Amino acid sequence: MVAFLAASLGLLGVVLAVPAAAAPRDDAGRVVPTRIHDRAQAEGEVRVLVELSLPSRRVGEGTLSTRARAAYRREIVDTAARVLDRLTRHPHRVLRRYLTTPLLALQVGPPALQELDAAGFLVKRVVEDRIHRPVLLDSVYLVGADQAWAQGFDGTGHVVAVIDSGVDSAHPFLAGKVVEEACYSTTSGSRSTTLCPNGLDEQIGPGAAVNCPLDLEGCWHGTHVAGIAAGSGTPADLPIWGVGKGAGIMAVQVFSRINRFRDCGGAPPCLGAFTSDILAALERVYVLRTTYAVAAVNMSLGGGLFGSTCDDEPYKPFIDNLRAAGIATVVAAGNDG
């Protein structure tokens, strides 16, 4: 059943623009690429992801024993503290810390970037915290779900994590379906505004992943995806169902209101999800791996066109952890051509 749910969700046309290959480095050997320095100079500050260089050189914990995992997490905390200690003399903001992967999300200006560049023994590399847009869905009912249902495989007992624009848990098609909610959405100066209901950059618990305001185009997107993944018309006496009609939904809202003209392609405001917030959502699913029988994570987020493997992307260690826990991360391609 888990394999069926994962394979079926893959046909949702989900696109993370899984940067299938890291962009070529424009100055090999530097911790901070020149283009990021240039952007910080031009804009005053930038959002970045800082990959930490741990003494053990590990980048994921999915296959570690309980004891080794605890030691690995201590390494992350200690190394992050040393990096942040170097930045105390320079303006910066910690956007996200991660428990399971050696990464920090920061908002920094030129002086802090220079300090990171000089911390090569603590910092492996610095990449931009990019914005991803919601991607429209294509047809889904090509998976033979009715045949699986006939054999008793309908997702019952499993959960699908939907990392998207939030879910309307009061929708009749999703009645009683949402079992867990979280929100990771960021206010970043005038560039973006959080859409978490509590007005903060993070919220966990009932109501946290309510779909964002419908006056922003795309805020229906997560509810639509959740319905396709696990909706059921039975409570409303309607003969329509999602692929895993017996499954529950873990809803994680990761989009922010983007206010900048350039980020929205000339038409602000718009919806956008920062890489750092998406990573926090992936980690949340992993942390809850023993609480719920999560079959798959579904993401429908765009962000570019790529043509080869993506082993150098910040997503990889998070997805590796999920894979080691038996959770499929569904990031298919095709919506953008």
pLDDT tier, 28 (very low <50, low <70, confident <90, very high otherwise): low
Domain count, the chain: 2
pLDDT of residue 234: 62
Within-domain flag for 336: no
75 and 151 co-located in one domain:
no
CATH assignment at residue 189: 3.40.50
Residue found by looking up tokens 């618990």 in the block: 205
Q: What is the pTM of this model?
A: 0.87
pLDDT tier, 2 (very low <50, low <70, confident <90, very high otherwise): low
62 and 149 co-located in one domain:
no
Within-domain flag for 26: no
pLDDT of residue 284: 99
pLDDT in tens, 82-129: 999 999 999 999 999 999 999 999 999 999 999 999 998 999 999 999
Final residue of a structural domain among 130, 158, 180:
130
pLDDT in tens, 143-178: 555 555 555 557 688 999 999 999 999 988 898 999
Within-domain flag for 148: yes
Within-domain flag for 79: yes
192 and 256 co-located in one domain:
yes
Final residue of a structural domain among 68, 97, 130:
130
54, HSE (Cβ side, Cα atoms, 13 Å) = 19
313 and 192 co-located in one domain:
yes
For residue 337, pLDDT over 70 is answered with: no
159 and 264 co-located in one domain:
yes
pLDDT of residue 306: 45
CB contact at 8 A, 12 and 332: yes
CATH assignment at residue 78: 3.30.70
For residue 245, pLDDT over 60 is answered with: yes
265 or 45: which carries more pLDDT confidence?
A: 45
For residue 206, pLDDT over 80 is answered with: yes
Within-domain flag for 99: yes
Task: Give the whole-angstrom CA distance, residue 273 versus residue 282.
Answer: 13
169 and 309 co-located in one domain:
yes
Residues whose CB falls within 8 Å of the CB of residue 181, separated by 6 or more in sequence, listed in order: 167, 169, 204, 205, 206, 207, 208, 209, 210, 250, 251, 252, 253
Closest CA to 155 of 68, 225, 234, 245: 245
195 or 137: which carries more pLDDT confidence?
A: 195
Final residue of a structural domain among 79, 98, 130:
130
Residue found by looking up tokens 């989900």 in the block: 14
157 and 113 co-located in one domain:
no
What average pLDDT does the chain have?
85
Domain hosting residue 80, numbered range: 34-130
**H or E element, residue 192:** strand 192-193
- By mean pLDDT, which of 58-62, 135-139, 332-336 is the weakest? 332-336
